[in-house]
Amino acid sequence: MLGSELVNVRPDSLSSTIEFLTAMVTPTLLISATGSLVLSTSTRLGRVVDRVRGLEIRLGEMIYAEDKNDIPLYEKRVEVIVELIDKVTSRSRILQRAMAAFYYGLMFFILTSVTIAIAALFGIYRWLPIPFGVVGIMYLFYGSLLMLRETRMATATINAEMDFTWELARKVAPKEVASKYATKGRRKGMDSAKLKGKNETRVSNTLGGE
C-alpha cells in the first residue's frame, strides 16, 4: 500500500513543494541579516549615548573648574568638547534613523514570508510577495547608507579628538621632547619624503639584481 502511494506521487506536486520551501527560505535569510544589522546598530547607539554622557561630565568639570587659568588650553578644550558633543549627537540621530529603517525592512521581510505562504496555500495574489520584498530591500539599502554616513562621522570625531590630544601633548611636554616630533606625531627625520626616498633606494637595488 505504501509503495503504491509513493509511486502515485505527482512530480509536479513535489516540484511545487520544493519551490514553496525555497521561496520561504529567501526572506528568512534576509530577516537574519537584518536582525544582525539591528543588533550592531543598537550596540553602536548605546556606545554613542555613553560617549555623550562622558563628554557632558567633562564639559561640566571644565565649566565649574575654579582655576581655569591653570588649565592648559582651557578655551580650546571647551571648544573641542562642544564640537565633539555636536558630532556625537548627530551620530546618535543618524543611528536612530538607521535602526528604524532596519526595523521597517524587517517588518516587510516578514510580510513577504507571510504573503508567500498565503499565495502558495490559496493560489491567489502570487505577485503580492514581490512588492513587499522590494520595499524591505529598499529600507535595508537606506539603513546601510545611514550607517556608512555615521561611520564617516565617527572617523571625523576620532580625528578631531586625536588632533587636539596631540596639540595638548606638544603644549605641556618639555621642549626637548616636543622638538623631536613634527606637527602630527611623526618624528622629525622620518617624514614621508625621506621614507619614500628610502623605499625607492631599496626597491631599485632589489630590481638591480643584487
Helical H segments across the chain, by residue range:
2-7, 11-63, 74-122, 129-172, 175-178, 192-207
What's the pLDDT score for residue 22?
A: 66
The answer to pTM > 0.85 is no
From first to last of the 210 residues of the chain, give the pLDDT tens digit. Answer: 434 443 444 445 545 666 666 666 777 888 888 889 999 999 999 999 898 888 888 888 887 777 777 777 778 888 888 888 888 999 999 999 999 999 999 999 989 888 887 877 777 777 888 888 899 999 999 999 999 999 998 888 888 888 877 877 777 777 777 677 765 555 444 444 443 444 443 333 333 343
Q: How far is CA 39 from the centre of its chain?
A: 11
